[in-house]
Amino acid sequence: MTVSINSDIGESYGIHSFGNDEALLPLVDAVNVACGFHAGDPVGIHQTVAAAATAGVAVGAHPGLPDPVGFGRREMALTAEEVRDLVLYQVGALRAFLDAEGLALSHVKPHGSLYGMVGRSEELMDAVCDVAVRYEVPVYGMVGTAHERVAARRGVPFVAEFYVDLGYREDGSLVIARRPHATPPDLAARRARLALTEGVAETDSGTRIPVRFESICVHSDTPNAVEVATAVRGVVSTN
């Protein structure tokens, strides 16, 4: 199994910089670029795309909810049509900058609470797949959720993810804090090694659950993201 590493980047606004984007680019295979709703502004998106082009990594869209104050981590009551248009709007914005740099859109990966919402609702995930079908790109998501089920039904290529800087609950859902926190690199490496060699993840209660994935995500906005990505790259390279 060939496993890639992806990272959510471009989550800054104007003069306010967040994340470890520049240092992460040499360590990852694909990036998910914030498209302006939960984070990101036009100049920042363009700079992020240009940096990714120089680094030679695949660039996907990371559309989020229109809630910059909550960083897209507060759920909203949305119809499927609203989700479709929110995602289409943001992917279209990123696509313009990709065109400017001569890059192709690699994939779509919803951000934050939108990721969770479409993972639970097949109707909302259908809306995301509408956009993926339009651009003929895969979607990133979690196995055993509406992400995977709807993508399979719609014939959309699906890239399953595993997270080393977030905890898992027994039902396979992620434990997501409102504020980013540091993950010890040795813990991230252990999680990656356990998932790669045994196909399991340890939950917050100490039990083990099966996991299946093609890509490992490392969040750029965590304080020690570079150390985590370095540790995970070492594990991926030797397994």
Helix (H) or strand (E) holding 201: strand 200-202
Instruction: Identify whether the C-beta of residue 36 lies closer than 8 Å to the C-beta of residue 9.
Output: no
Which residues constitute the domain of residue 17? 4-163+215-223
pTM assigned to the model: 0.94
Query: Which CATH number goes with the domain that contains 104?
Result: 3.20.20.370
Taking the CA atoms of the chain, what radius of gyration do you get in angstroms?
A: 16
Is 172 part of any domain?
A: no
Is 197 part of any domain?
A: no
Is 168 part of any domain?
A: no
Q: Which of the 8 DSSP states describes residue 27? A: G
Is 206 part of any domain?
A: no
Listed residue (202, 198, 79, 211) closest to 144, CA to CA? 211
In this prediction, residues 131-135 reach a mean pLDDT of 98
Helix (H) or strand (E) holding 230: helix 225-238
Distance CA 142, CA 38 (A): 21
Is 236 part of any domain?
A: no
pLDDT value at residue 182: 87
- pLDDT of residue 178 exceeding 90, the answer is no
In this prediction, residues 165-186 reach a mean pLDDT of 86
Is 203 part of any domain?
A: no
Is 189 part of any domain?
A: no
Q: In this predicted model, what pLDDT tens digit does every residue of 201-213 receive, in sequence order? A: 999 888 999 999 9
Q: pLDDT higher for 14 or 110?
A: 110
pLDDT value at residue 1: 60
The domain tally of the chain equals 1
Is 209 part of any domain?
A: no
Q: In this predicted model, what pLDDT tens digit does every residue of 80-96 receive, in sequence order? A: 999 999 999 999 999 99
Q: Which of the 8 DSSP states describes residue 100? A: H
- pLDDT of residue 235 exceeding 70, the answer is yes
In this prediction, residues 203-227 reach a mean pLDDT of 94
